[in-house]
Amino acid sequence: MDELDRRIVNALQGGFPVCERPFAAAAEGLGIDEATLLARLAALRAEGVLSRFGPLWKAEGLGGAVTLAAMAVPTERFEAVAALVNAHPEVAHNYERDHRLNMWFVLATESAAAIAVTIRAIEAETGLAVLNMPREAEYHVGLRLEA
């Protein structure tokens, strides 16, 4: 990452403009043009520096529900189980971890009851237990990249 990439990541973590051309407005605040900003974001995503760029919705505030879930998946079944889990539209993202609980994913649903329904469906499809870990407290952590 160069200095401009660090400035972009730092600037776009909060207060993203809500207007007709938000990237143009954000670029102006950074002293660059919209095309440069978009190209830099695309490059950061392609390089894996950023895994995603987009809003983080507070599902509960919109009437929905969200939870973190984990599973202990046999290594030889990991890809097949991941395909089953990821086929559920409620699965927001899924990560492999180096841990006994090696598959972690987020479920976002329209209601708290739908969390349990989705978990039961995944358990039935995979034959594996899903550990449901609903949020008990919320913390806001900012990432600032220093030069």
Q: Which letter, b or e, does each residue of 103-126 get, where b requires 16 or more Cβ atoms within 10 Å of its Cβ? A: bbbebbbeeeeebeebbeebeeeb
Answer yes or no: do 92 and 68 share one domain: yes
Q: What is the CATH number of the domain that holds 120?
A: 3.30.70.3460
Answer yes or no: do 73 and 122 share one domain: yes
The string of pLDDT tens digits covering residues 14-69 is: 778 889 999 999 999 999 999 999 999 999 989 988 877 776 667 676 777 899 99
Answer yes or no: do 63 and 106 share one domain: yes
Answer yes or no: do 75 and 114 share one domain: yes
- Rounded distance between C-alpha atoms, residue 90 and residue 84, angstroms: 12
pTM for the predicted model, two decimal places: 0.63
Q: Which domain holds residue 38?
A: 3-46
**How many domains in the chain?**
2
Answer yes or no: do 39 and 64 share one domain: no
Tokens of 57: 């919705």
64 found inside a domain? yes
Give residue 5's pLDDT.
95
The string of pLDDT tens digits covering residues 98-113 is: 999 999 999 999 988 9
78 found inside a domain? yes
The string of pLDDT tens digits covering residues 60-87 is: 767 778 999 999 999 999 999 999 999 9
Q: What is the mean pLDDT of residues 118-126?
A: 98
Answer yes or no: do 42 and 69 share one domain: no
Give residue 86's pLDDT.
95
Answer yes or no: do 68 and 31 share one domain: no
Q: What is the mean pLDDT of residues 80-98?
A: 93
